[in-house]
Amino acid sequence: MKKTLSALSIILALSATTAFATEPTAPPAKGDEHKGGKMFKETDGNSDGSISKDEWRTRGDKMFGEMDTSGDGKLTHEEMKAHYDKKRAEWKDRREERKEKIGAMKEKLKERQENKAAPATPAAEPAKQ
């Protein structure tokens, strides 16, 4: 019974959206992907600058389909756990990639700062004729 209630509560949470803007708004600016911009663009199927209930439900149906690995139209606790374990591993991989990129950028910055701090060698004076 708990498994059914958990799955039902997730389905309801995905489909029960009550607060939508009445006027279309512009999608988030470039660089705001970490603030939901990427998800917004993916969910806004007709690119009108707002997400309708149907677009929201479509995203929820897609997510449900990804989680329902048995294809029986029901989510078990094991399917949900497997889905979130997979997502957690993906997030961890992306976090490690970002750390590596940041480390490389810090090294480049350090090299640049060391090159600027090194005394400049005087350029050879051009020969006068």
- Nearest residue to 32 (alpha-carbon basis) of 20, 43, 42, 40: 40
Domain spans, the chain: 2-17+30-114
Q: What is the pLDDT of residue 20?
A: 45
**Rounded to 5, what percent of the chain is helix, strand, coil?**
60, 0, 40
Q: What is the pLDDT of residue 86?
A: 94
Q: What is the mean pLDDT of each run of 10 residues along the chain (129 residues)?
A: 60 52 55 70 89 92 91 93 94 93 93 80 60
pLDDT per residue as tens digits for the range 33-57: 556 788 888 888 898 989 999 999 9
